[in-house]
């Protein structure tokens, strides 16, 4: 145990002190933050100044209702807080009742000259055909055309309903869109909304997937590095191959855990403002305690399972290039788990979801997913953990046999029959 501890300490300190660890740990949250913040910032920057729009209509009342509707925040696609602030000054509306072709040409010239942003041809003829033309130079601005379409539809409906004698509040009541919130039931209580659960599950699974993959590969590369620097035989004169393998897997795993902890802390510190903004359309972002525990358990088990495979692969090969060709036995099940995620998300209670999540190689991803999005029966979770532990035990003993022989073998990569013989060697 003393030796294992010494090896774990080395593996951990050397990695955590390395420049690449520090950079990766810092850059990853920056990328994550960038994914969220940059589009929002760009969007804000790109909206530019005021939009001068001329509404050409035979009916000035209809035109002004549509114009008001454009200024109405509810037609905006942005979150409400931002929308309110922007809507007031975004559109400057002028109503024009001259529907002649000459006026159309004149407005076209104004658009070209940049005096107005665009004009909306809302004549009675256009309304009769349910087809309205908005002429502008920025025809590719989808956000704006969606806003316009919403404003026109709602404006026309509002105008016609009030023409039929409906009062203002009644019209509002009719036109307010229905928002659908899917809530998850947890132990009979009402829990988080569907979107939030889905996003939480997705984030957790992707984090688990990427960390297991990154650190599984780190174990493999570390074994290859020890092989290629020829340090192994020096070490083997005082420690056993099993101690080496244990020290490596535990040490690298501890680095992975450290990274996750750092990221979670980062996320808590920096994403609080983001979460507040996101609340309006996501509902409460809410990670229940059982999901956190499940994440920790499945991360550890998943990491053990895959790192054992990666360590064995590392022991079999001599170079990174060879490892690339040999790593499919470890890579495919992991990627397949992510691919199958979609099927499990759609039918988390199906027999297929059950069987898939029982496969130890997929379990870290699929069972975790099921635990986060629904609550599988306890026996299923326990069965799954039992199967995983048995598989990990088997894989570790297999890996340590391959490792023990492989680390002293240089040169040619073993063939399958050779590998089978390695497993039988006495020691």
Partner 1 sequence: MRWPETRRDKGYIPVAQSKVITFHPQPDRSACAVELRGVHKRYDHFVAVDHLYVSIREGSVYGLLGPNGAGKTSTIRMMIGITMPDDGHVRLFGEPFHRRQLRRIGYMPEERGLYKRMKVLDHLILLGRLHDLTERDARDRAMKWCERLKIASWTHNKVEELSKGMQQKVQFIATLLHDPDLVIMDEPFSGLDPANAVMLKDVLIDLKKAGKTILFSTHRMDQVERLCDSICLIDHGRAILEGDLKKIKASYGKNHVQIECEGDPHLENCDLVQSVNNYGNYVEVQLKPGADAQRLLRVAADRVRISRFELLEPSLEEIFIDQVGKHQVSKHA
Neighbouring C-beta atoms of residue 259, cutoff 10 Å: 19
* Residues 2, 9: Cα–Cα separation, whole Å: 11
- 237 near partner 1, judged by CB under 8 A: yes
Applying CB under 8 A, which of residues 146, 149, 420, 421 lies at the interface with partner 1?
421
- 84 near partner 1, judged by CB under 8 A: no
Q: Which residue bears the tokens 């001068």?
A: 52
- 20 near partner 1, judged by CB under 8 A: no
* Residues 135, 154: Cα–Cα separation, whole Å: 20
Question: Which of residues 100 and 237 has its CB atom nearest to partner 1 in the complex?
Answer: 237
Structure tokens at 111: 């658009």
Applying CB under 8 A, which of residues 48, 114, 411, 427 lies at the interface with partner 1?
427
Site for partner 1 in 384-413 (CB under 8 A): 408, 410
* Residues 395, 388: Cα–Cα separation, whole Å: 10
Applying CB under 8 A, which of residues 6, 58, 64, 162 lies at the interface with partner 1?
6
Question: Which of residues 10 and 279 has its CB atom nearest to partner 1 in the complex?
Answer: 10
Applying CB under 8 A, which of residues 1, 2, 188, 321 lies at the interface with partner 1?
2
* 338 φψ region: left (φ > 0), alpha (ψ -120 to 50), beta (else): alpha
* Residues 129, 340: Cα–Cα separation, whole Å: 47
Planar angle of CA 424, 237, 308, nearest 5 degrees: 50
Question: Which of residues 84 and 421 has its CB atom nearest to partner 1 in the complex?
Answer: 421
- 176 near partner 1, judged by CB under 8 A: no
C-beta separation of 92 from 50 below 8 A: yes
- Cβ partners under 8 Å of residue 176, min gap 6: 74
- 318 near partner 1, judged by CB under 8 A: no
C-beta separation of 337 from 364 below 8 A: yes
DSSP 3-state assignment of 347?
Answer: coil
- 236 near partner 1, judged by CB under 8 A: yes
Cβ 403 to partner 1 shortest distance, Å: 13
Question: Which of residues 18 and 325 has its CB atom nearest to partner 1 in the complex?
Answer: 18
End-to-end CA distance of the chain: 20
- 425 near partner 1, judged by CB under 8 A: yes
Number of residues that bind partner 1 (CB under 8 A): 25
DSSP of 188-243, one letter per residue? TEEEEEHHHHHHHHHHHHHHHHHHHHHHHHHHHHHHHHHHHTT-HHHHHTTS-HHH
Question: Which of residues 161 and 419 has its CB atom nearest to partner 1 in the complex?
Answer: 419
Cβ 2 to partner 1 shortest distance, Å: 8
- 230 near partner 1, judged by CB under 8 A: yes
Applying CB under 8 A, which of residues 239, 262, 287, 389 lies at the interface with partner 1?
239
The binding site for partner 1 (CB under 8 A) comprises 2-3, 6-7, 10, 14, 18, 226, 229-231, 233-240, 408, 410, 421, 425-427
């Amino acid at each position: 145990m003393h030796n294992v501890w010494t090896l774990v300490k080395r593996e951990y300190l050397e990695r955590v002190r390395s420049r690449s660890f520090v950079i990766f740990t810092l850059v990853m949250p920056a990328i994550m933050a960038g994914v969220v913040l940059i589009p929002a910032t760009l969007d804000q920057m790109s909206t530019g100044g005021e939009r001068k729009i001329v509404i050409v209509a035979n009916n000035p009342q209809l035109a002004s209702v549509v114009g008001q509707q454009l200024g109405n925040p509810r037609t905006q696609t942005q979150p409400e807080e931002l929308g309110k602030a922007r809507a007031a000054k975004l559109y400057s509306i002028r109503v024009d009742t001259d529907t002649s072709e000459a006026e159309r040409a004149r407005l076209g010239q104004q658009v070209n000259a940049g005096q107005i942003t665009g004009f909306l041809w809302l004549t009675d003829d256009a309304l009769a055909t349910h087809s309205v033309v908005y002429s502008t130079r920025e025809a590719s601005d989808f956000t704006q055309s969606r806003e316009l379409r919403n404003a026109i539809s709602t404006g026309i409906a509002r105008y016609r309903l009030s023409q039929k004698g409906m009062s203002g509040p009644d019209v509002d009541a009719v036109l307010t869109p229905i928002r659908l919130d899917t809530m998850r039931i947890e132990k009979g209580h009402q829990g988080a909304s569907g979107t939030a659960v889905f996003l939480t599950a997705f984030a957790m699974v992707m984090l688990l997937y990427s960390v297991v993959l990154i650190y599984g590969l780190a174990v493999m590369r570390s074994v290859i590095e020890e092989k290629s620097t020829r340090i192994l035989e020096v070490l083997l004169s005082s420690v056993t191959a099993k101690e080496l393998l244990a020290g490596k897997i535990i040490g690298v795993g501890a680095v992975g855990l450290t990274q996750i902890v750092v990221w979670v802390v980062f996320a808590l510190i920096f994403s609080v403002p983001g979460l507040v903004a996101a609340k309006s359309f996501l509902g409460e972002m809410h990670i229940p305690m059982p999901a956190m525990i499940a994440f920790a358990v499945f991360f550890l088990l998943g990491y053990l399972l895959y790192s054992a495979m990666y360590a064995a692969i590392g022991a079999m090969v001599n170079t990174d290039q060879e490892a690339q060709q040999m790593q499919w036995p470890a890579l495919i099940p992991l990627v397949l788990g992510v691919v199958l995620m979609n099927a499990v998300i759609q039918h988390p209670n199906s027999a297929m979801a059950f069987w898939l999540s029982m496969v130890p190689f997929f379990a870290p991803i699929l069972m975790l997913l099921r635990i986060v999005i629904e609550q599988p029966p306890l026996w299923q979770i326990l069965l799954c953990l039992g199967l995983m532990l048995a598989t990990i035990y088997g894989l570790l003993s297999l890996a340590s046999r391959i490792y023990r022989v492989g680390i002293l073998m240089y040169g040619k990569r073993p063939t399958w029959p050779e590998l089978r013989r390695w497993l039988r060697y006495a020691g």
